[in-house]
Amino acid sequence: MTSNDLVKSILQRDVDEQDRILKSTEVTKPCPVDIDLGNLLVWDPNVVDQQAYKENREEYIKNTMRDNMQLFVNALWQVPIERHDNAVVAKLPDAKTVVPREKPVPKPKPLTKWQKFAQSKGIVKRNKSKFVWDETKQEWGRRYGYKKANDDTKPWLIEVPGSADPNEDQFAKRLAAKKERVAKNEFQRLKNIARANKINVRNDGAIINKKSSTNDVKKALATAKYSDASMGQFSEQAAPDEARQTRGFSKKRKFESNLGSLKNEKNKQLKLFEQMNSSTAK
Amino acid sequence: MRPLTDEETKILFEKLSKYIGDNVRMLLERPDGLYTFRLHRERVYYCSEAIIKYASNFPRKELLSFGTCFGRFTKTRKFRLHITALDFIAPYAKFKVWLKPNAEQQFLYGHNVVKSGLGRITENTPKYNGVIVYTMNDMPLGFGVAAKSTIECRAADPMALVVFHQADVGEFLRNEDALT
């Protein structure tokens, strides 16, 4: 063999070797790797080669990563495969490793007044049908909600009962009764919420024993301050840094002085204009 | 009377730059003295330092007007430019519209401008940009908003609206009391 041919054959051999390594899907590891396809997890218990790691960290990590990925992809192709419109989909098995809860266990909600009563009496909820037969319209309509069947408030004729005042508007009466029922339901819903969150609410809606937040106190202070005849100008400071604390809560707005330095004003306005233009230019 | 707050100044400048663009600077920086804006009863007045000093001697209820009224802030803090600002805006106008003589009267009565009344329009007027309306003799008539860009104007049919009327000098007769 001539030296030229020899060189060529050596180079070819190297190229083949490289090809073989690149195209190989075989990976051998001293300790078998644990693959959890359900979680897309590869758990590699092999001992880290300390020397190789110290020599070239990035290279070592890349190689181990590549090997593990290869094993993972091999396992992925073992799993039953479906094809949907040119997309190959693998059906993953259930997850093996148990992952801890992300959020804490939800607390049981306190029962509403009705739920408590139903529990004590042993009343069981019976699911009603969503649609009812409307005799007048001769069709099925919703039991409740938009355009419900047998809507009480929408008759074209209401007979005035014998005992009623002839000048009373029966239609308005029915509408008012409906509004009353809706309001009552809303009220009871809110009472349930208050009871669940342990907020003491009085009849008129005011909250008893309410612990004021800091913002409430600041607002109250600011309000009290400007509630006197001179709008709090001559009142003492309640705290040394009161002005800072109550900054957002006082009613009176502060403006620049009318006869202040006009040159400063001009500069400020020019700067504002520049700012406006630069932001709009972006 | 008080100086404008930052938000109010911003709103004012935005409105002005719709008509005169960058030349708002010219209004602020004048060689012949310090001119600025003041707010009085929700109206914005443009005046020189000296005028402000004189005007501040009057009680608020009795002070009617000082300097030039540019416009007023509405209840929801939008700025409405009045015709009284025309003298200051017209020299710095960026986009202009010239009307034919027969269309002038329509505009002065408060109507919008139709394509058939359009004499000339500056090149590259963007759509919905503020324009100053002139007669063919270069006399300013008022403000408007371009309903169509220059290119669209050329292609529009004669009865199409090209300029929305905002303010015109006829208002000096029609809305005397609203102008201060």
* Domain tally, chain B: 2
| Residue B9 counted as domain residue | yes
**Percentage of chain A lying above the pLDDT 90 cut:** 38
Distances (CA, A) of A179 to A172, A175, A182, A183: 10, 6, 5, 6
Band of pLDDT at residue A23, cut at 50, 70 and 90: low
Q: Residues B131, B149: one domain?
A: yes
Domain end residue (candidates: B48, B72, B88): B88
Nearest to A265 among B3, B17, B53 (CB): B3
- pLDDT number for residue A21: 67
Q: Residues B151, B73: one domain?
A: no
User: Residue B128 sits in a domain of what CATH number?
Assistant: 2.30.130.10
For A79-134, how does the pLDDT look when each residue is reduced to its tens digit (9 = 90+)?
Answer: 998 888 888 888 899 988 888 999 999 999 999 999 999 999 999 999 999 999 99
User: Residue B73 sits in a domain of what CATH number?
Assistant: 3.10.450.220
B52: which chain A residues are within 8 Å (Cβ-Cβ)?
258-259, 262
Band of pLDDT at residue A1, cut at 50, 70 and 90: low
B13: which chain A residues are within 8 Å (Cβ-Cβ)?
269, 272-273, 276
Mean pLDDT to the nearest integer, A12-22:
80
Q: Residues B66, B108: one domain?
A: no
Contact: B34, A276; criterion CB under 8 Å: no
- CA–CA separation, A67 and A64 (whole Å): 5
Q: Residues B48, B111: one domain?
A: no
Helix (H) or strand (E) holding B70, with range, is strand B68-73
- pLDDT number for residue A181: 96
Mean pLDDT to the nearest integer, B97-103:
93
**Lookup: tokens for B178:** 């609203």
Contact: B13, A272; criterion CB under 8 Å: yes
Domain end residue (candidates: B37, B69, B88): B88
Q: Write out the residue range of the structural domain in which residue B125 sits.
A: 95-175
Q: Residues B84, B109: one domain?
A: no
**Does the pLDDT at position A282 exceed 60?**
no
Q: Residues B38, B73: one domain?
A: yes
Domain end residue (candidates: B52, B69, B88): B88
Longest dimension (CA), chain B: 56
Q: Residues B70, B121: one domain?
A: no
- A25 close to A74: Cβ distance less than 8 angstroms: yes
Nearest to B14 among A255, A256, A276 (CB): A276
Nearest to B34 among A256, A263, A272 (CB): A263
- CA–CA separation, A162 and A279 (whole Å): 74
A273: which chain B residues are within 8 Å (Cβ-Cβ)?
13, 24-25, 28
Q: Which residues of B have a CB under 8 Å from any CB of A? A: 1-3, 5-6, 9-10, 13-14, 17, 22, 24-25, 28-29, 34, 36-38, 49, 52-53, 56
Q: Residues B6, B84: one domain?
A: yes
Place of tokens 């199409």: B160
Q: Which residue in B66, B85, B64 sits closest to B20, CA to CA?
A: B85
**How far away is chain B from the Cα of A261, in angstroms, using its nearest Cα?**
10
| Residue B180 counted as domain residue | no
Q: Residues B81, B139: one domain?
A: no
Q: Which residues of A have a CB under 8 Å from any CB of B? A: 255-260, 262-263, 265-266, 269-270, 272-273, 276-277
Which of A265, A274, A276, A280 is the best residue to mutate to test the B interface, defined by the most B CB atoms within 10 Å of its own CB?
A: A265
Distances (CA, A) of B126 to B19, B146, B149, B150: 12, 8, 5, 7
